[in-house]
Structure 1
Amino acid sequence: MENYAKLAESVIAGNEEQVKNQVREFIASGNAPVDIINQGLIAGMNVVGQRFKVGDMYVPEVLMCARSMNAGLEIVRPLLADSDAESSCKIIIGTVKGDLHDIGKNLVSMMMESGGLEVIDLGVDVSADDFIAAIEKHKPDILAMSALLTTTMPKMKEVIQALEEMGLRDKIKIIIGGAPVSQAFAQTIGADGYAPDAASATELCKSLFAQ
């Protein structure tokens, strides 16, 4: 639909004010909130995700696009009837204990939210106890852990072992990411998956949630 394509283009351009204005116009014209989100906002962000994945867009641009999309989402979200919202995949995300890096994690969080997933961000320097407390409280479908230092990578295994000891491991899918992390490391520590970038992390969560 041509109109929604223009909204998607505004998201891709990272033009926050234009996105907000277009969303308000769609609402005023009686367009369905779920269509505005799926055919306009998320459609635009999907393009951004693919461009980022192949190296045509970089982190600052993607963050700007994600902020624009989320600004539009904030306007539409209150109008969504419960029946319109698909059953959402709930994700807890955090950077492990001893690691204070958050740019990559923040990008993953924004990309996941852009993809319609519910994200609870625990921030950085998150201990195994804090991860477990959040899992018991929020009962997420997926736990996403980030580590940017080789010295903090073992903390991921500690969290998984703690979940096993608490009898919670089989109730949640676990994915990991970060510069020093790999698919081989994910298998070694017993994680369910590894994502090399934000777009892949979102796709991985959707596929794990669908299983």
Structure 2
Amino acid sequence: MELKTLSQMIGDLEEDQVLEMLNTFVSSNPSQEDAQKVVNACQEGMGIVGELFEKGEYFVGDLIFAGELLTAAMDVLKLVMDSSGEEKTGTIVLGTAHGDLHDISKNIFKSMAQAAGFEVYDLEIDQSASEFVEKVKEVQLDIVGMSGVLTLAIDAMKDTVEALVEAGLRNEVKVIIRGNPVTKESCEHIGADAFTTNAAEGVKICQGWVKQYVRC
């Protein structure tokens, strides 16, 4: 398989060609090493999507489609991936802030994070501070990710960070936030470690944290 071609086809959102190529690859009974190389190529393709979005050549609808394409690609590759022995990049708990019922942003980030090797615990939409805290207590995590489209999500995210502080858990995780109302100023107000409006950029930030052994 030509890995660069696969990456470019994902970047170009060529769904039929991508799935045809992956199904042919899976039918060849590939090694785990080769399968991982293909997963990496898919990740690089999503990087292309992120770059085109930053340039204004792709829009939100394209990101949604890219997330769906990536999910379909990973479903095909799971057939030849040994998940029992797969080393995870890191662990993220992800959810939409309390009062916000939008999940498109969260789902795009989730797909990209999983493709990058993260284990993701998805709390879904409209999650209270206590629900984030309980999941952090339950699972040894690296990162808490929150998203929101509505302005009210800012206060809900701040409540969650404060709840992590009160529970004595804040120093154990990094916090990343994303969504339309998020800015540098609101990030500082919330007490998060980083913010992003781009899913691909957000995954890169998370990868950087894990490489620096962010767990305290």
Q: 1:38 aligns with which of 22, 40, 44?
A: 40
- What are the Cα deviations for residues 156-197 of structure 1, in whole angstroms up to 9, with x where unaligned? 111111111111111111111222221222223321111122
Q: Do the aligned partners of 1:97 and 1:125 also contact (CA within 8 Å) in 2?
A: yes
Taking structure 2 as the reference length, what is the TM-score of the superposition? 0.86
Residue 19 (structure 1) shift = 2.0
Find the counterpart in structure 1 of residue 94 from structure 2: 93
Alignment match, 2:104: 103
CA contact (8 A) 2:40 2:116 kept: no
2:133 maps to 132
Q: What SS is found at the alignment partner of 1:139?
A: coil
Aligned in 2, Cα 1:152/1:23: closer, same or farther, shift over 3 Å?
closer
Structure 1: give runs of 5+ residues left out of the alignment: none
The aligned residue for residue 169 of structure 2 is 168
Q: Which runs of 5+ in 2 are unaligned?
A: none
Cα distance in 2 for partners of 1:74, 1:119 equals 16
Question: TM-score, normalising length from structure 1?
Answer: 0.88
Q: CA deviation at 1:141?
A: 1.0
* Contact 1:132 1:163 (8 Å CA) reproduced: yes
Residues 167 and 47 of structure 1: CA distance in aligned 2, closer, same or farther (over 3 Å): same
CA distance in 2, matches of 1:65, 1:186: 27
- Percent identity between the two aligned chains: 32
1:11 matched residue in structure 2? 10
CA contact (8 A) 2:26 2:80 kept: no
CA-atom RMSD, angstroms?
2.1
Contact 2:96 2:106 in 1 (8 A): yes
Structure 1 pair 84/12, CA: closer, same or farther in 2 (3 Å)? farther
CA contact (8 A) 2:154 2:186 kept: no
Q: Which amino acid is 2:97 matched to?
A: V
Deviation of 1:47 after TM superposition, in Å, equals: 0.9
